A and B are shown apart, each in its own frame.
Chain A
Amino acid sequence: MMTTTMTIAASFAFTVLVVALDLAAIRALRRRVRMKRMLKA
């Protein structure tokens, strides 16, 4: 069973992870768009 500290830490860490994953997806999209534009130029 998780302790109280672990429960709080896991909740906060998961929320930060979720934001980081969304940001990583946007950066991947930016890389794709930039690459396509550079190849076209």
Chain B
Amino acid sequence: MSILQPITRLSSPPVFFEASAKLLRVTVPSAIALCAIGMAMALFFAPTDVQQGEVYRVLYVHVPTAWMSMLIYVVASGYAMIHWIYRSTVSAVMMRALLPTGAWMTLAALVTGSLWGKPTWGTYWIWDARLSTELLLLFIYIGLIALASLVEDESKTDRVLALFTVIGLVNIPLIYFSVVFWNTLHQGASLGAPGASRMAGDMKLTLLFCTAGLWLACASLALARARWLLLQREEDAAWTRKLEP
């Protein structure tokens, strides 16, 4: 038996439908719990920043939403590549299910960043490299969602949607490294990257909870959307006829 067999089995629509239901029973309560803990920690536990004061707490929603906006695009591109190679229905459905959640996260990152920008930079918006490339990501998401809904029979646009999703992937390293490549008003990477700012342990822990909670929330939203998109697409298949309406 190949070690990849459990993964390849998930490309079968009925197997995916059942497995995703089981997974959602774990991810939804975990997401709610982690988001609640993360939010409480962000508002009451995390220490005040020595330079920015209390307003830096916007970071606990801005950074996770910005990370999710990029991560979701990378994962959607992964599914796009899988679909391009194997043409499986589940990979196409997952690619489509991730796009709206990614667009919402990008909008949230832009709006929360803008709200944070006013008290710290003195402006809601500036045509800075990081902000402009993130705005471009929102336009890419909107374009792909529009393309996804062009034709009623969704399976006809899967291949072209997969191709354009992969092409748009070029914007992700531009966003991530924009603060390194260009002189920008935006601060450097929060964690991980070379030259990343050093955060206090309590701040890192709070950010970890907020990010894990939002990641699970996004995964749950995408999985839930994928299940209904799959059911819609496979309405004439034998396995869907056995299910209750």
Q: Which residues of A contact B (CB under 8 A)?
A: 1-2, 4-5, 7-8, 10-12, 14-15, 18-19, 21-23, 25-26, 29-30, 32-34, 36-38, 40-41
Contact = CB atoms under 8 A, between A and B. Distances in A.
Main secondary structure of the interface of B (DSSP, over half): helix
B82 interface: no
Interface string B208-245: 00000010010001001100110110010000100001
Contacts of B27: none
A40 B101 CA distance: 30
Nearest to B240: A37
A25 B107 CA distance: 16
Contact of B58 (A7, A22, A36): A7
A12 B228 contact: no
Interface residues of B, number: 35
B112 interface: yes
Contacts of A14: 61, 108, 111-112, 115
B118 A33 contact: no
A11 B104 contact: no
Interface stretch (B49-57, B152-160, B172-180): B49-57
A30 to B, nearest CB: 5
A37 B57 contact: no
10 contacts: A7-B55, A7-B119, A11-B116, A14-B111, A14-B115, A15-B108, A18-B105, A29-B232, A34-B245, A41-B245
Main secondary structure of the interface of A (DSSP, over half): helix
B100 interface: yes
A28 to B, nearest CB: 10
A9 B55 CA distance: 10
A26 B118 contact: no
B105 to A, nearest CB: 7
B62 interface: yes
B221 A19 contact: yes
Nearest to A6: B115
B238 to A, nearest CB: 14
Given A18-B105, A19-B104, A29-B225, A4 B112 contact: no
Contacts of A7: 55, 58, 115-116, 118-119
B165 interface: no
Contact of B112 (A1, A11, A29, A32): A11
Given A8-B54, A22-B221, A26-B221, A15 B231 contact: no
